[in-house]
A and B are shown apart, each in its own frame.
Chain A
């Protein structure tokens, strides 16, 4: 008997949802619009929900209650689109999931109190929970995609090569130095050496929080590449804690010149290119 009842659940739900179709649609849209605080217009919410509602009724009409099943493919596609849009527009996870969960509350008043209805409602609630979780899954995946896209953009932005003096270029590194970034840095620096006809390059790592073996290896490769082009590299910005860590790790920088500050490195590079700096008496007033 129980089996008969549960088989009839999708049909009962279809009846409940269709009987008050327009009505339910309106209260659902009301509830969702309110929770989004006016950042999406009522018309847009209605359009989104109307499509989901129609697909949901159609799926139930096929006698299924399995949120991951084939019958709900259309519903999942629509929810995927909805949560992707919400994630991109900067809505919170709660504001995204509420779109699905609100339908539960909305359906509540239309229950007649008959035995079958309670079970039907509970099963429906379970179905909506599963769909809600699906929404969250898509939401977080979209956010992760966004973050990795931004990381790539940062990669492009964060590697300036600056001219410090005639024949001396500087590469200030800030943040984490991984393989991908090293490639970009190396390419940019080598190209800048050619373009500016420089023979001295200074790589400043003041902004690199930790130098581990990978970072060190990348630095060494960059220096060797510059040497092959006839340029000399100095690494500056070695802070005391970095120096101690490098020594403890056992990394050997060989004959590569390293300096504590960018100023020291510039002075060294100038001396090597034969520039003599002299200090004169300061000019008083102006």
Chain B
């Protein structure tokens, strides 16, 4: 589907809160290089922040892979968050606004889906979780 990778992939470990901060900074750098508008940048960085925190809190740590990609002449930033945690038993429930397994607001996963262009979730109970998101430059 993706024709070419323009930058990256860069892999970042998310093992502590500092990893979430670094993830945000890396994503902002990618978003700026891809010339996303300020609003798009902020949305994308916020989505990355949510997913990075999920990787840390629910997945027990994992990694983020960032790349700038090109597809049918449009550019975008693609992020893949992967962890080897317990996985999500009920995906539909997890994607429901306001449902949280922790003490959060329950908006991280469904909210970040609304903040990006492409969103895919690959998980199974006991087999970790992988979330891929993409934002295309307009």
Contact = CB atoms under 8 A, between A and B. Distances in A.
Interface string A211-222: 111101100000
30 contacts: A148-B18, A176-B24, A209-B24, A209-B45, A210-B42, A210-B46, A211-B46, A212-B49, A213-B105, A213-B107, A213-B108, A213-B111, A214-B49, A214-B104, A216-B105, A217-B105, A240-B39, A241-B43, A244-B39, A244-B43, A245-B42, A245-B46, A245-B115, A248-B43, A248-B111, A249-B107, A250-B97, A251-B105, A251-B107, A251-B111
Given A240-B39, A241-B41, A245-B46, 7 more contacts: A210-B42, A214-B49, A214-B104, A216-B105, A241-B42, A245-B42, A248-B115
A140 to B, nearest CB: 14
B53 interface: yes
**Which 4 residue pairs of A and B lie closest in terms of their CB atoms, listed nearest first?**
A249-B111, A241-B42, A212-B49, A241-B39
A37 to B, nearest CB: 32
Interface residues on A, range: 20 to 34
Contact of A250 (B28, B49, B107): B107
Contacts of A249: 46, 50, 107, 111-112, 114-115
B28 to A, nearest CB: 8
A210 B46 CA distance: 6
Contacts of B111: 213, 248-251
B21 interface: yes
A58 interface: no
B37 to A, nearest CB: 8
Contacts of B112: 249
Interface of A: 148, 151, 176, 178, 209-214, 216-217, 240-242, 244-245, 248-251
Of the listed residues B17, B21, B107, B112, the one surrounded by the most CB atoms of chain A closer than 10 A to its CB is B107
Of the listed residues A214, A244, A245, the one surrounded by the most CB atoms of chain B closer than 10 A to its CB is A245
Interface of B: 17-18, 21, 24, 28, 38-39, 41-43, 45-46, 49-50, 53, 97, 104-105, 107-108, 110-112, 114-115
A190 B9 CA distance: 45
Nearest to B108: A213
A141 to B, nearest CB: 14
Contact of A212 (B39, B50, B97): B50
A250 B98 CA distance: 9
A242 to B, nearest CB: 6
Nearest to A240: B39
Mostly, the B contact residues are: helix
Nearest to A179: B17
A245 B43 contact: yes
Nearest to B21: A176
Nearest to B97: A250
Nearest to A212: B49
A211 B115 CA distance: 13
Contacts of B105: 213, 216-217, 251
Nearest to B103: A217
A105 to B, nearest CB: 35
A248 B41 contact: no
Of the listed residues A176, A216, A242, A248, the one surrounded by the most CB atoms of chain B closer than 10 A to its CB is A248
A129 to B, nearest CB: 25
A237 to B, nearest CB: 14
A176 B110 CA distance: 22
A241 B108 CA distance: 18
Nearest to A176: B21
B30 to A, nearest CB: 14
A250 B46 CA distance: 12
A50 to B, nearest CB: 39
Nearest to B104: A213
Contacts of B97: 250
